[in-house]
Structure 1
């Protein structure tokens, strides 16, 4: 199978031609393929528990998805991110772009702290994703960002986290690390 020219920046078409990967986790940042190892057990456990809690609160109108490609910018050079979790309308199409995402959630791993806190925060805000949560398992703590006038404003939560957006939801953050 032939792929795109590795010396040029990838388009969205090139990215999709790569197919699914199971041994690594990759994203596309302004046409450059970024590869990281799969997350550790602690990270996966926390994502799974948060996914279950969100799904239980979401109701029929929403869908909670994990590790799905989100097209942030389709123009070449393209940007495609893979949040740990997203919430979208249950009627959203199979191929999601940022306009379909109501909430993006990232659980910080040792190698993704700056990417999650700076790069993705900026990209998600520019793409218009209304809500962005960053979960730091060292605490544990959740920073809840809301998009206001094109910028995220945030509040940090430790212990219990309760919100009404994008739907009523509450979780004891300590349960994510047990």
Structure 2
């Protein structure tokens, strides 16, 4: 007697196309509904780890704060990707976009992004702290925020001469005060779960 799988197999990237680094944004858009979130790195699909409840709460509270305080010329979103190129994409935790943005898009162009936010988790430390900021800077995204957990701290960066420079920081005992992309006085305790 042999053991046979029951039910449909879990989705995974095509191994031949993965080795050939042959995936594009179009392939990601055509994934089945039950596929995990992925980013593209030089044509290779990278599965994005599922966020923890704490991670999601921070992102949701920041999204809500931005929705309530950003001028109407901006739109705060989550679970939307940035098409960095035909064979590269990133999935930031929170984005603040320049309006107008079509509601049907899963991806936006870097030129539409005002702020890209990454919430650092144990499994994404290197990528969120080192790799993603360099990738966002390379495509000209003007502002990048990195949120560290335990205790909660936000580091906000402005793009200056192709590199991010620290523009402000805050922790759960203080406010994040910035002049761009709009006048911001964010009490960090309001996004601390």
TM-score class, shorter: 0.7 to 0.9
Larger Rg: 1 or 2? Answer: 2
Q: In 2, distance between residues paired with 1:17 and 1:25?
A: 12
CA positional deviation for 1:21 = 4.7
- CA pair 6-114 structure 1, distance change in 2 beyond 3 A: closer
Structure 1 residue 96 corresponds to structure 2 residue 108:
yes
Q: Mind listing any 5+ residue stretches in structure 2 that lack a counterpart?
A: 1-12
Q: In 2, distance between residues paired with 1:99 and 1:130?
A: 9
Structure possessing the higher relative contact order (Cα contacts under 8 Å, 6 or more residues apart) = 1
Q: In 2, distance between residues paired with 1:66 and 1:172?
A: 20
Runs of 4+ in 1 over 6 A off after TM superposition: none
Report the equivalent of 2:127: 115
Secondary structure of the structure 1 residue equivalent to 2:20: coil
CA positional deviation for 1:107 = 0.9
Report the equivalent of 1:85: 94
Query: Is contact 2:18-2:44 (8 Å) kept?
Result: no
Query: Is contact 2:120-2:128 (8 Å) kept?
Result: yes
Deviations 1:4-46 (A, max 9, x none): 6343211222232225556x33211121111133111101111
Report the equivalent of 2:147: 135
Task: Name the TM-score, length of structure 2 as normaliser.
Answer: 0.81
Report the equivalent of 2:190: 175
- CA pair 119-21 structure 1, distance change in 2 beyond 3 A: farther
Question: Which stretch of the first structure deviates more once superposed, 85-94 or 61-70?
Answer: 85-94
Query: Is contact 1:134-1:142 (8 Å) kept?
Result: yes
CA positional deviation for 1:109 = 1.0
Query: RMSD in angstroms over aligned alpha carbons?
Result: 2.0
